[in-house]
Chains A and B, each alone.
Chain A
Amino acid sequence: MPDKSSISQQIVISGVGGQGVLFVTRLLAEAAILKGLRVFTSETHGMAQRGGTVLSHLKAGAFSSPLIRAGNADGLLALKANSMAQHGYYLKPGTWAVVNSSQGVTTDADVSAYIVDAERLAKQIQNPKSVNLILLGFALAAASAKTENNLFCQMEDVETVLELRMAKNKTMLDDAAKALEAGFKSFK
């Protein structure tokens, strides 16, 4: 683990309104704070939340701007299969993307894309609205398995954030932890 001062990461999270893009962004932001990092996120509110495209930017480290410039992101969490085509331009060459898709994803960019069928997994664990957490778990697994995909936080950090957030609601916490784990374990 590199020391705190050298960490500087920019992650794009993309999906449509209602999928929980903002929730995933918040979990990652809180994980960054837990690790003592400076953090900046930018969110979509208002009309787009009614099923329109929702895009979050998350920057952990010393930044002054809330937005990520095209070609500068270190990673992409795509909650929709077409998010890769739509927002892949944010990624720097040689970086990673995790994509929720039931099929393969083709990209001509120099990016490692990891695919998970989060909808199917969500049905399996009987929590159809947990696609966001499954993808996050999958991303954390991908990051820990491949050193080049470094992410500023680990599975344990996100689990701690969930515990802190949902301390009062055991059922909700169990469901969330289960979804996160299902995603984590599905990475091979």
Chain B
Amino acid sequence: MLGNEAIANGLMENGCTVATSYPGTPASEILGAFAALDKKGPGQRHIQWAVNEKIAFEIAYTASIAGLRAAVSMKQVGLNVASDPLMSAAYLGVKGGFVVISADDPGPHSSQTEQDSRLMAMMAKVPVLDPDSPRQAKDMVKTAFELSEAFEIPVMLRPTTRVCHARQDIEPGDVLPGKWDAGFQKDPERWAATPKFRFQLHRALEKKLDAVSRHQKTAPVRLNDAAKTSKALVVSGVAASHAKEILKDLNLWDILPMYQVLQPFPLHQDFIVHMIDTYSDILVIEETTGIIEMQLADRHRVKGKLTGSVPGVGELLPESIQKIISEFAGIDTQPIDVPAEPGVRPTLCAGCPHRAAFFAIKKAAPKGIYPSDIGCYTLGLNLGAVDTVLCMGAAVSQAAGFYHAYKHETKRPDIVATIGDSTFFHAGVPALIDAVVQNVGFVLVILDNHTTAMTGNQPTPAMGMGACGEILNPVDIEGLVKGCGVRFCRVGDPYYLNEFIALLKDAIQYSRENGPAVVISRRPCLIDRLKEVKPGWEPMKVEVADTCDGCGYCIDHFECPALSLNQNEKQVGIDSVLCSGCGVCISVCPKKSIKEVKDAG
């Protein structure tokens, strides 16, 4: 079972009744797996994809204060979006167990930052558990619910990519039915506390934390019975899994005492005293920031990220941990040579409608500035059609920032921003309202592929479908755009490339004179298996005619993986396996050398 499935099983086995999420790698599969288990089981839970992480958090949190067991899952940068309710929820506390699952991505493999959610837990003053494997992640869901209920406090579970996307042989336990025993007890001095009372809530929170830091069930564990030495290792999360194997391989298992921290914050007080009293040399190995190290506050005895003994940037790969432990133990090992991996850069799929839209944008505004956003379409970078990527929804506000920066110039650049449909709902809408109010002259292209593609095709609010496939109310994007006050809003299909370029040119012309214009680029994602029918388009067979002189224009400017230059023959070839038959390249070729093959019959 995948780490994320293990977490979903943990939620199921512990009677989680309300679960919400916004998808993001590496956390995306948790809610989907939970929904799948629910369909197998009694099917009586509220499971939903929310518009963004803040909303997901607030829904699950409120179910908890109404007395239900609830969980919200997201990736680490999603927690930034949900940080506002997190900080406040820590003060107010919970009733039913409430688990905040925030998955970190050291590396990063698929994120903007390597931030450590445990630091966010520390800032919010909520306990955080740090699983080392899928199995432990599943077990920790139970611990988290119990801890949350015992102390009436939100509890964070912080897996990392290597836990979420590891697979381990785990037996699923019994599915516990959801428990619908909502009983919200009004207590405005708590649930709607004014600043004066918040001070008292803060004091109460500190008391809870003090008790949590003495809670025996989450105390650090000694992993081995090593001889008495002056040195010790402290590990947590997936670094602990690596270290266990490495210590055995280096024959240090019986020599170097190793402790695993299960709850990095608040670190157990007895443990801090024990470590500082017992050892003169302590090495802490953890991801991604030195949280445990910080709390083991003795700068003379404790080494880790803060002292530079453990790299502070990037994923802690086992090779690197082996080197660190060897040096700490004072033994010689063969240095492991890990070559830098150039690898193949990711690209949009063959036939991806985003590619056609980006090509059209470059044609319509060749000297434009192109703010973009988070999603598959970030890969528009390869096409030179993405200039900035900051965070969810920023395409719209960055477009505004560029507009204001240039507004007193006589020659202003055209600004064409791109944002996916799901990202538009997530954080683009408030920014668009702002752009209308400020009359920002720019074109927003909403890349509407009817899905949240990058994270595995979760539904968007426009689809009218829930996490369990149930029918919900769809929200219409055009209506939403117009409701924000945008007066130019048109829909086009990027597969009809020339018409789409013309539409973009109209929008750009409008934006120069009149303010914001929105073009909805509508064409479903190719790999969304939920939709078998792609109306309005029949896949076509394309071939390259002899007139192709191998100029490479289509390769450089369209970058479809199905097109490649055959160096020997000086012509472009089409990979019939990869080609999806979108036929957009027919309009891309400046020499008209790519043609549709009409069947003789």
Contact = CB atoms under 8 A, between A and B. Distances in A.
Contacts of A129: 577
A66 B577 contact: no
Contact of A67 (B28, B132, B162, B347): B162
B168 A51 contact: no
A178 interface: no
Interface string B319-341: 10010000000000010111101
A70 B319 contact: yes
Interface of B: 2, 25-26, 28, 109-110, 132-133, 162-163, 165-169, 238, 241-242, 244-246, 317-319, 322, 334, 336-339, 341-349, 376, 378-379, 454-455, 561, 576-577
A16 B344 contact: yes
A25 to B, nearest CB: 8
B109 A65 contact: no
Interface residues of A, number: 39
A31 to B, nearest CB: 12
A125 B74 CA distance: 43
Interface stretch (A33-41, A135-143, A168-176): A33-41
Contact of B336 (A41, A70, A86): A70
B344 A46 contact: no
Nearest to B105: A46
Nearest to A39: B169
A94 interface: no
Contact of A43 (B167, B336, B346): B167
B129 to A, nearest CB: 18
Q: Is the interface of B mostly helix, strand, loop or mixed?
A: loop
B245 A40 contact: no
Given A47-B25, A65-B241, 6 more contacts: A32-B169, A40-B166, A40-B168, A67-B317, A86-B342, A89-B339
A50 B347 contact: yes
B346 A52 contact: yes
A49 B379 CA distance: 12
Nearest to B336: A70
Contacts of A69: 246, 318-319, 322, 336
A17 interface: yes
Interface string A50-72: 11110000000001111111110
A48 interface: yes
Given A65-B242, A67-B242, A38 B318 contact: no
27 contacts: A17-B346, A29-B167, A32-B169, A38-B169, A39-B167, A43-B165, A43-B167, A44-B109, A45-B165, A46-B25, A46-B109, A47-B109, A47-B110, A48-B109, A50-B348, A50-B376, A50-B454, A51-B347, A52-B345, A52-B347, A53-B341, A53-B343, A63-B245, A64-B241, A65-B244, A86-B341, A129-B577
Contacts of A104: none
Nearest to B561: A51
Interface string A122-141: 00000011000000000000
A45 B110 contact: yes
Nearest to A57: B166
A66 B345 CA distance: 24
B110 to A, nearest CB: 3
